[in-house]
């Protein structure tokens, strides 16, 4: 029985992806054009760059979708990708140009590579492959299978060691925003690995409790003393702004306070596309970290809510693919991708609204950043391939079942 993949394409995922990507190009142009014109540059410069990355993304989606799903399970390929990623991370720290006190970018002509972005899909891919091979043992021994001491001499086979190296490497940039996302995504992958469901609520409670404890300690000790720690000194002002942004409007609290102003300016229906006040030099990083504040200012809370609804619809459809998947590897990849996007949305909105300290995390699809869009597109391609493969397997099972009954 031969079934063409083009008939199995999940349009409930593809169409929202296309709409959000196109909307992202519009938002990038809106949030960057005024500043670029002031600098004497083309108003389309960053939007054009974003469009080029999207063009590459569409080609990758088509290629990945056509490939047989077995390529994702190739252990040698996973090892090669992780090895290349480690080299890129090292190069980003050694020869990269610092931005706002942090490293993490490699400039190759007009193109800038941010290796930390690619870690998101790599970790999901690696953990899904790693945990899917132990489903029989997990079913019997629960989480104990995944916490056995394997540090030496099989260090690379120990997923904890791999995560420690990959995520820990971001601390030398430092890039605590992406490190936070990766930790949360790793915890999500651990909880959907097949262990008992009760561990999800336990881990969630521990995570919330430890976060509150850390914030309480920082507040008690004082942000100034915390800033003396070499690696974390640059984020001290973010904690200061989190506690009260209006104490230092010209310094630490400048971004968050202007983010509040932007959201208040937007009201219910917004000032109109391109009419943001805050993006004209008042709100730094208006096109990246705080882009959703500008979206609220221009589209209003009604328009921003519709965008969020579309994004959450995409996330739910992706997670649904994982829930319906029969293969553990397929299930974990799809749920991991949906969880990754959801976590990134939560961390970004939490930062711009003051619910959590700002982490410098971009908003999916809308923020200017070709690497982020490329990673999201590859992740979507993985899910589309998985969904089509699961549908094909189901049709084959049904066909074989009907044939056996007929015979």
Across 97-120, average pLDDT: 74
Gap between the Cα atoms of 325 and 330, Å rounded: 6
Number of Cβ atoms within 10 Å of the Cβ of 173: 22
Residue 402 belongs to some domain of the structure? yes
Residue 33 belongs to some domain of the structure? yes
Range of lowest pLDDT (83-87, 250-254, 382-386):
250-254
Structure confidence at residue 148 (pLDDT): 63
Across 101-113, average pLDDT: 71
Residue 303 belongs to some domain of the structure? no
pLDDT in tens, 285-310: 778 888 999 999 999 999 999 999 99
Structure confidence at residue 141 (pLDDT): 66
List the one residue out of 385, 296, 392 whose CA is nearest residue 14.
385
Cα-only R_g, the chain: 22
pLDDT in tens, 341-374: 999 999 889 888 877 777 778 899 999 888 899 9
pLDDT in tens, 310-320: 999 999 999 99
Gap between the Cα atoms of 212 and 216, Å rounded: 6
Residue 366 belongs to some domain of the structure? yes
pLDDT in tens, 140-152: 666 666 666 554 4
Residue 251 belongs to some domain of the structure? no
Model confidence at 173: pLDDT above 80: no
- Contacts of residues 63-67 at CB distance under 8 Å and 24 or more positions apart, as own/partner, are 64/378, 64/381, 64/382, 64/384, 64/385, 65/5, 65/9, 65/381, 65/384, 65/385, 65/388, 66/5, 67/385
Parent domain of 56 = 23-244+285-292+321-406
| Whether the predicted model's global pTM rises above the 0.75 cut | yes
pLDDT in tens, 55-78: 999 999 999 999 888 888 888 888
Gap between the Cα atoms of 308 and 182, Å rounded: 22
Are the CB atoms for 165 and 119 separated by under 8 Å? Answer: no
The structural domain count of the chain equals: 1
Q: Count how many Cα atoms sit within 13 Å of the Cα of residue 244 in the half-sphere of its side chain.
A: 6
Residue 139 belongs to some domain of the structure? yes
pLDDT in tens, 123-167: 999 999 888 887 777 776 666 666 665 544 455 567 777 888 888
Residue 232 belongs to some domain of the structure? yes
Q: How far apart are the first and last CA of the chain?
A: 17
Residue 2 belongs to some domain of the structure? no
pLDDT band at residue 38 under the 50/70/90 scheme: confident
């Amino acid at each position: 029985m031969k079934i063409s993949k083009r008939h199995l394409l999940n349009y409930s995922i593809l169409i929202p992806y296309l709409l959000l990507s196109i909307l992202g190009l519009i938002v990038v142009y809106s949030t960057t054009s005024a500043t670029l014109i002031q600098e004497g540059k083309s108003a389309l410069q960053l939007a054009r760059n974003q469009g080029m990355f999207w063009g590459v993304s569409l080609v990758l989606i088509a290629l990945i979708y056509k490939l047989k799903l077995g390529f994702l399970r190739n252990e040698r390929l996973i090892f090669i990708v992780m090895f290349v990623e480690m080299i890129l991370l090292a190069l980003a720290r050694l020869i990269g140009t610092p931005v706002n006190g942090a490293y993490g970018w490699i400039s190759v002509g007009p193109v800038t590579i941010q290796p930390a972005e690619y870690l998101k899909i790599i970790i999901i891919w690696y953990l899904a492959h790693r945990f899917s091979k132990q489903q029989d043992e997990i079913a019997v021994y629960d989480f104990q299978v995944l916490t056995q001491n394997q540090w030496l001499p099989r260090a690379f086979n120990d997923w904890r060691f791999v995560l420690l190296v990959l995520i820990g490497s971001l601390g030398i940039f430092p890039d605590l925003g992406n490190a936070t996302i990766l930790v949360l995504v790793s915890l999500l992958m651990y909880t959907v690995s097949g262990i008992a469901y009760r561990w999800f609520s336990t881990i969630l409670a521990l995570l919330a409790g430890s976060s509150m404890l850390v914030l309480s300690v920082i507040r008690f000790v004082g942000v100034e003393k915390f800033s003396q720690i070499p690696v974390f000194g640059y984020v001290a002002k973010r904690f200061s702004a989190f506690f009260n942004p209006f104490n230092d409007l010209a310094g630490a609290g400048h971004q968050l306070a202007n983010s509040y102003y932007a959201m208040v300016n937007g009201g219910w229906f917004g000032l109109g596309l391109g009419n943001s006040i805050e993006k004209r030099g008042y709100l730094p990083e208006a096109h990246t970290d705080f882009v959703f504040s500008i979206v609220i200012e221009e589209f209003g809370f009604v328009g921003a809510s519709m965008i969020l609804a579309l994004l959450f619809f995409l996330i739910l459809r992706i997670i649904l693919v994982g829930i319906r998947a029969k293969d553990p590897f397929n299930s974990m990849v799809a749920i991991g991708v949906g969880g990754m996007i959801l976590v990134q949305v939560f961390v970004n909105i939490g930062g711009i609204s003051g619910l959590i300290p700002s982490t410098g995390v971009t908003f999916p699809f809308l923020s200017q950043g070709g690497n982020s869009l490329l990673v999201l597109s590859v992740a979507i391609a993985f899910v589309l391939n998985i969904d089509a493969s699961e549908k094909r397997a189901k049709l084959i099972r049904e066909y074989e079942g009907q044939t056996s009954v007929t015979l």
